[in-house]
Amino acid sequence: MSDRIHYDALLLVSFGGPERREDVIPFLENVLRGRNVPKERMLAVAEHYYHFGGKTPINDQNRTLIDAIAREFAANGIAMPIYWGNRNWHPLLADTIKQMAADGVTRALAFVTSAFSSYSGCRQYRENIEQAVGSNAVQVDKLRAFYNHPGFIEAMADRCRAALQTLPEARLIFTAHSIPLAMAQTSRYEGQLQEACRLVAAELGRNNWTLVYQSRSGSPSQPWLEPDIGDYLKTLGPGTPVVVVPIGFLSDHMEVLYDLDTEARQLAGELGIRMVRAATVGVHPGFVSMIRELVLERTAAAPRLALGSHGPSHDVCPEDCCPGRR
């Protein structure tokens, strides 16, 4: 349609992570800059990375996702190059956008690897993009939040089905990154998570599900979203079968590999709880197709798909959307 905006490229924007041991501390210093997190906590988190040789899987998973998107675009006649920039580690957003400008890109769509709206999952990424653009003659428009998009729900439900084959009678424990309660109260994060969990559970015909949180990193005196997954597991009886579903993560971040696959699994074993962890959406075909559909919403007036009662999220965030820490 003539009234659709032309975009030159797709920019995948992600969190980033170290790929070798010597990068771990500089990476964590980037992540925690400006935040009141004790050094002891940073060093404790560094040990999580050292447990895996200092390499996070997120970068390789983003490379795999970019390859999958490129194939999806090519199969559907979308001629759009794909760039990749991170918030906290190489390839950094500023370097990527500088390269985009050098390549002649003037307007791009950004797919942020976060399904839910919070300061750190939405607004901060928009701020990161704005700072990275600087004086470069490139405009970057973020694609909408997709927590209730059929492609995301389908992919997450499929991951749960695979896990439930091992423990058919298990209850579902959905988990997401905890955030400060004050931040949750000024964003749609918790409500969107509840809706996404409900939609996935409904797809599976399940009523016995719970949403819990994990990976809090702030001051112990500051209230964060609860219950923590560890605290919740302690309320269950020995022999309880559970499928842990990391719905708040799109790929196997360190928070999934360590906080769930290592710490939560160890605790479950000590409590006599039978635990299986569902896979993240990764490059599930429905999820990859969803990214194409989100692009076509903005470029070809494709339908704006959403399940449930919330409807599709806005394309342009209002000024007061997901404010940061006060």
Which phi and psi angles does 61 have, rounded to 5°?
Answer: -70, -35
Tokens 């599900």: give the residue: 209
Decide if 237 is inside a domain: yes
Q: What is the pLDDT of residue 309?
A: 95
| Structural tokens at position 143 | 């694609």
Asked whether residue 166 falls in the same domain as residue 232, the answer is yes
Query: For the domain that residue 81 is a member of, what is the CATH number?
Result: 3.40.50.1400
Q: What is the pLDDT of residue 178?
A: 97
Asked whether residue 24 falls in the same domain as residue 70, the answer is yes
Residue 34 is part of which domain span? Answer: 9-146+284-299
| Structural tokens at position 212 | 């819990």
Give the C-alpha separation, 32 to 24, whole Å: 12
| Structural tokens at position 128 | 């990161």
| Structural tokens at position 263 | 């710490």
What is the chain's length? Answer: 326
Taking 3-state DSSP, the helix, strand and coil percentages for the chain, each rounded to the nearest 5, stand at 45, 15, 40
Asked whether residue 266 falls in the same domain as residue 291, the answer is no
Decide if 318 is inside a domain: no
Give the C-alpha separation, 281 to 156, whole Å: 6
Asked whether residue 106 falls in the same domain as residue 254, the answer is no
Q: What is the pLDDT of residues 47-95, one digit of tens each?
A: 999 999 999 999 999 999 999 999 999 999 999 999 999 999 999 999 9
Please spell the DSSP secondary structure of 218-264, one letter per residue.
S-TTS-BSS-BHHHHHTTSPTT-EEEEE-TT-SS--HIIIIIIIIII
| Structural tokens at position 280 | 């993240």
Asked whether residue 68 falls in the same domain as residue 191, the answer is no
Q: Which stretches in the chain have pLDDT values below 70?
A: 1-3, 325-326
Decide if 307 is inside a domain: no
Torsional sign, CA 11, 14, 18, 19? negative
Give the C-alpha separation, 157 to 305, whole Å: 17
Give the C-alpha separation, 113 to 149, whole Å: 14
Q: What is the pLDDT of residue 122?
A: 95
CB atoms within 10 A of CB 78: 16
Decide if 315 is inside a domain: no
Strands (E), the chain: 9-14, 82-86, 107-112, 139-142, 171-177, 209-214, 241-245, 274-277
Domain total of the chain: 2
CB contact at 8 A, 237 and 254: no
Angle between helices 285-299 and 150-164 (to 10 degrees): 180
Q: What is the pLDDT of residue 325?
A: 59
What is the pTM for the complete model shown?
0.95
Tokens 């597991």: give the residue: 233
3-state secondary structure of 104: coil
